[in-house]
Structure 1
């Protein structure tokens, strides 16, 4: 049986007995609204640079964030969001992934229709919440979980083989932000820093040739986490995703 995502964190707390995760993380008061899409999912044009991943990840329960954006480092962070109307709101709320930047009237979250609808305790309550447009909420950061995935690297569509390489970092688990990315130049035997172009997109002009090893730096962790072998082939293709072999 596959549990709905809104129950997974709560069940993990009960089974794993992690009081630091379940009890000590307080909620922050804020407000949330939503944007419209034809299918209820997110938008592929989000400022994180995720493309279709930003539309469909977490079953399309995603959000644009404002103060939590953190210059793009907040891309991919997961949050439990619950609204405060005791008559209409589900007691857990929902979990959304930050895939875009968005600022409104004192709102920290501008949610996809799929995400916003999960705030209600039932479909009719969700429809009533949508009529309000903006609702009072509280939120907290929670771990992202992507069963069966290591961190993946997508070759961004702006790349130009072989000299300009732009990467998008996908499926980052837990509660870590990607703060830096470096790529190994096997000819010069040195690590070269990549620039955060915007959101979750890192790039380098004059990319090294040949199969490429990567290493990533994460918030709250000392040192680098390196791919165990070449994560990107020499003949990398634009739009293709590769397993980084990085486990956080």
Structure 2
């Protein structure tokens, strides 16, 4: 069986972030859904509240990305997505300060 990778297209649907059930204030993991671009995500970075720095997240498998740096994380979180072709998309404060494990947070953006 041959498999061909094709670009995902979700016209009119914005990117959503489903927080993993195991996430907690020291360990953040999210499933990125409805990403509409030229392939898989190559990189995801997280920016905490009050920080100017982007921290790279590790890819678990598929569209699951995690951050576990051994200290309490300060929400709200902004996420920066980098596609296979290197296009970046910043989603500001998409994960609110009172986020909950298992919840899904919809952004207002997607790749054009």
Q: TM-score normalised to the size of structure 2?
A: 0.82
Q: Kindly indicate whether residue 54 of structure 2 is the aligned counterpart of residue 213 of structure 1.
A: no
1:86-235 paired onto structure 2 within 5 Å: 108=2, 140-160=4-24, 162-205=25-68, 206=71, 208-222=73-87, 224-227=88-91, 229-235=92-98
For residues 207 and 165 of structure 1, do their structure 2 counterparts lie closer, same or farther at Cα, with a shift above 3 Å needed?
A: farther
Higher RCO (C-alpha 8 Å, min separation 6): 2
Residue in 2 that maps onto 1:80: none
For residues 207 and 167 of structure 1, do their structure 2 counterparts lie closer, same or farther at Cα, with a shift above 3 Å needed?
A: farther
Q: Secondary structure at the match of 2:77?
A: coil
Shift of 1:207: 5.4
**Structure 2, unaligned runs of 5 or more:** none
Q: Whole-Å Cα distance in 1 between the matches of residues 51 and 38 of structure 2?
A: 34
Q: Whole-Å Cα distance in 2 between the matches of residues 207 and 193 of structure 1?
A: 16
> When you count strand as a share of all residues, which structure comes out higher?
2
Shift of 1:159: 1.1
1:244 corresponds to which of 104, 107, 112: 107
Q: Whole-Å Cα distance in 2 between the matches of residues 207 and 180 of structure 1?
A: 22
Q: Secondary structure at the match of 1:230?
A: strand
Shift of 1:199: 2.2
Would the aligned equivalents of 1:181 and 1:216 in 2 still touch at CA under 8 Å?
yes
Q: Secondary structure at the match of 1:190?
A: coil
- RMSD over aligned CA atoms reads 2.0
Q: Whole-Å Cα distance in 2 between the matches of residues 237 and 155 of structure 1?
A: 7
Would the aligned equivalents of 1:141 and 1:175 in 2 still touch at CA under 8 Å?
no
Q: Whole-Å Cα distance in 2 between the matches of residues 153 and 165 of structure 1?
A: 12
